[in-house]
């Protein structure tokens, strides 16, 4: 019974990962409008200076940087889910995938901290992403240690 539950959970996660790919594709297509709307919102807030041309370019670079990093993380997450589905969790490849996902989360956190110069809410999002990256680093360390123990036990048998 438990094995079926895990298999179903992994399949749901794979489907959600594919849906997230689609959302990222739509976001990439809509990115110019999204960034333009954010710039318009920023420029109409009281006490804020208008974002100049350099700021607009910077915002587009940050927005597409977040998008690219999210795509990279989602690809690694998809591969990791396939490895979980095939019972290949405690391997060096799985550890490296979790490591990559954690670096992507920290990268997104960094991008959002930079966006904090324009939008204060981005600071909160940035700190949350950095914390998620830190949590993933801890999970990576746990999986890495479990992998080492598993390899040692495999050699003893």
Mean pLDDT check: name the lowest of 52-56, 58-62, 92-96: 52-56
Residue 62 three-state SS: helix
Residues 28 and 70 sit within 8 Å (Cβ to Cβ): no
The backbone region for 60, taken as left when phi is positive above 0, alpha when psi lies in -120 to 50, beta otherwise, is: alpha
| Three-class secondary structure assignment of 110-140 | HHHHHHCCCCCHHHHHHHHHHHHHHHHHHHH
Q: Is the pLDDT of residue 1 over 60?
A: no
pLDDT level of residue 126 (50, 70, 90 thresholds): very high
* pLDDT on residue 128: 97
Say whether pTM exceeds 0.75.
yes
Predicted local distance difference test score (pLDDT) of residue 2: 66
pLDDT of 146 strictly over 70 = yes
Closest CA relative to residue 87, chosen from 12, 19, 6 = 6
Per the prediction, the chain carries an average pLDDT of 92
User: How many Cβ atoms sit within 10 Å of the Cβ of residue 128?
Assistant: 14
Cβ(150)–Cβ(89) below 8 Å: no
> What is the band of 131 on the pLDDT scale with cuts at 50, 70, 90?
very high
Q: Which residues contact 130 (CB under 8 A, 6 or more apart)?
A: 105, 106, 109, 110, 113
Please tell me the predicted confidence (pLDDT) of residue 133.
97
Judging by beta carbons within 10 Å of its beta carbon (0-12, 13-18, 19+), is residue 105 exposed, middle or buried?
A: buried
Residue 123 has pLDDT above 90, yes or no: yes
The predicted model gives 96-116 an average pLDDT of 96
pLDDT tier at 55, thresholds 50, 70, 90: confident
């Amino acid at each position: 019974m438990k094995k079926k539950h895990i298999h179903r959970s992994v399949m749901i996660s794979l489907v959600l990962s594919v849906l997230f790919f689609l959302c990222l594709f739509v976001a990439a297509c809509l990115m110019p409008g999204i960034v333009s709307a954010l710039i318009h919102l920023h420029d109409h807030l009281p006490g804020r200076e208008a974002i100049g041309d350099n700021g607009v370019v910077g915002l587009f670079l940050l927005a597409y940087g977040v998008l690219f990093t999210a795509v990279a993380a989602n690809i690694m997450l998809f591969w990791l889910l396939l490895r979980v589905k095939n019972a290949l969790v405690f391997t060096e490849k799985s550890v490296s995938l979790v490591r990559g996902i954690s670096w992507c989360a920290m990268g997104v956190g960094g991008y959002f901290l930079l966006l904090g110069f324009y939008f204060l809410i981005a600071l909160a999002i940035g700190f949350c992403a950095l914390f998620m990256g830190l949590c993933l680093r801890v999970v990576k360390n746990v999986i890495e240690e479990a992998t080492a123990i598993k390899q040692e036990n495999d050699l003893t048998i």
